Chain A
Amino acid sequence: MQAFDSSTFTQFWQDWSNTQQSLMTESMTQMKRMSQLPFLAHKAQRVKKGATPSEVIYSQDRLKVLHYKSDSPPKYKTPLVFVFALVNRPYILDILPNKSVVKHFVDAGFDTYLVDWGVPTPSDNRLSFESYVDGYLVDIQKAVEDATNTEQINILGYCMGGTMTSMYTALYPEKVKNLILLAAGIDFETREGLLNLWNDAENFDVDAFVDAYGNCPAHFLQSIFLMLKPVANLLEKPINFIENMGNDKFVDEYMTMETWLNDNIPVPGEIYREYVKYLYQQNRLVNDQMKIGDRTVHLKNITCPILNLMASKDDLVPASQSERFNDLVGSTDRESIRFPTGHIGLAVGSRTHKELWPKACEWLAKRCDA
């Protein structure tokens, strides 16, 4: 038997002591995190939807047009209208005072409006691209024109809102002064994103789906979005949350984001069918085959200045889906920016608020009359 070695004993004692200390520290941290649990529900209920004060200036069916109030009168004559997607709610663009895209433009002196499409009911399942592009958007433009006494508007379209506003601008080029697209799906040829692959005609029978469900259900869309990044959404995010439960600022921001992410709404069946069938499966918009009513959308008709903003890490609308837009329009003044962030990061990322949005405001200000 080996003789007892005092140095081995000291080493063992030191290791054991270190382990105990680590265990104690970890237990204390865990207890501190768990002590926050009773307050989480309260924090979740406290989440505000929209940071900048606003008023409704127009409503029709489910939609509302919000006008953002400013302390000073607008510097620029032409108003700016934000057009959001039909998926999720538009308050992501004004989610927190320090992360509000709307606030950037209001502070820069733009008379700013936002279209909230509202929550569709089962009876709205017949609303199509024609209803939105050649119906609601026309009425919204008129309402904003009446409110501001102008004949043109600036438009910022986000995601599917960008797709719709590009169609609108192609149909009514004289009505739009400047067009800003934010992660807008235009060219659906790419198979870079999983959504493009899953929506292929051989993988997804959209007609049968819409016929059975009417509107595209919110829970279906939510599960699809979660599946795009299952490890990040179902593992990394909860672990990250548990680790930062003691950080009030982190918890507040997390709760606000989660409230928005889980605030899904159904998409009217007909427009969902057209979006998947005509755009994802047949890529009609870039091939000059997209019809709105009895008129064909020609992107070449767009002649106003264009700012095309894309996210290089976008898993929902890959940048390759948006970047071709600038080559398809008739405008000579066109610019595109690829920013290293994700789809939602474009609206809420700290870096985008420091770098991208001031640049976008400057771009628009240069092209608007004071």
Chain B
Amino acid sequence: MSNGNGEQKGFNPAEANVRMWQEFMSHAASANIPFSMPQNLSPENMKVMRSAMFKAIGSYWEEYMRSPEFLEMTKKSMNQMVEMKKQFNKVITDIHHELHSATQSDISDLVTTIGHAEEKFHESFHQISQRLDAMSDRLDKLENLATPKPPTPKTATKQAKKTSKRTKKTTRS
């Protein structure tokens, strides 16, 4: 059985069996049915007893399914199941290949190849897109350098002031 910290101890069937009966008795006792009187054995009371029994068996099973013995057994049967499936797959693949038909693994390989090709395409497109962006940026910069900037309102007034000063100077002289 596993405790809360994940530590496990072996499953003792005798102890677990005793615990199961103890649990059953405690559930039955908590139902408060006086079993000494035969007339109290009504279907409803018997259902309560049955439910108590199932609860106790359920706890017993849960304890067993947490035990290292059960986990080891499950692991072994799972490994065998996987091994059998592998062998079965191999036989089926061989038969298909003998009949020159496609198998699940062939289709799977094809899907992988297509997936890889798709990834490469994506990467290439991404690279092309990045290069196009960079080229577009450079072109924008070049365009900005090539075309003279139209005067902004501020520079226009400055230039106007300068020219007016110059004209004033020339008139004075």
Contacts and interface: CB of A to CB of B under 8 A. Distances in A.
Interface of A: 122-123, 125-126, 191, 194, 197-198, 202-205, 208-209, 211-214, 227, 229-232, 235-236, 239
**Interface SS, A side:** helix
A145 B115 CA distance: 29
Interface stretch (B61-69, B131-139, B144-152): B61-69
B61 A205 contact: no
B108 interface: yes
A205 B54 CA distance: 33
A193 B89 CA distance: 33
Contact of B108 (A125, A191, A194): A125
Interface stretch (B27-35, B72-80, B93-101, B156-164): B72-80
Interface string B18-46: 00000000000000000000000000000
Interface residues of B, number: 27
A301 to B, nearest CB: 25
B54 A236 contact: yes
Contacts of A203: 71, 74-75
A221 to B, nearest CB: 14
A202 B86 CA distance: 21
B75 A194 contact: no
A46 B30 CA distance: 42
Interface string B50-67: 110010011001100110
A204 B75 contact: yes
Nearest to A26: B43
A200 to B, nearest CB: 8
B162 to A, nearest CB: 52
B6 A191 contact: yes
A126 B107 CA distance: 12
Contacts of A204: 75, 78
Contacts of A235: 54, 57
B85 interface: yes
A231 B104 contact: no
Contact of A232 (B54, B89, B108): B54
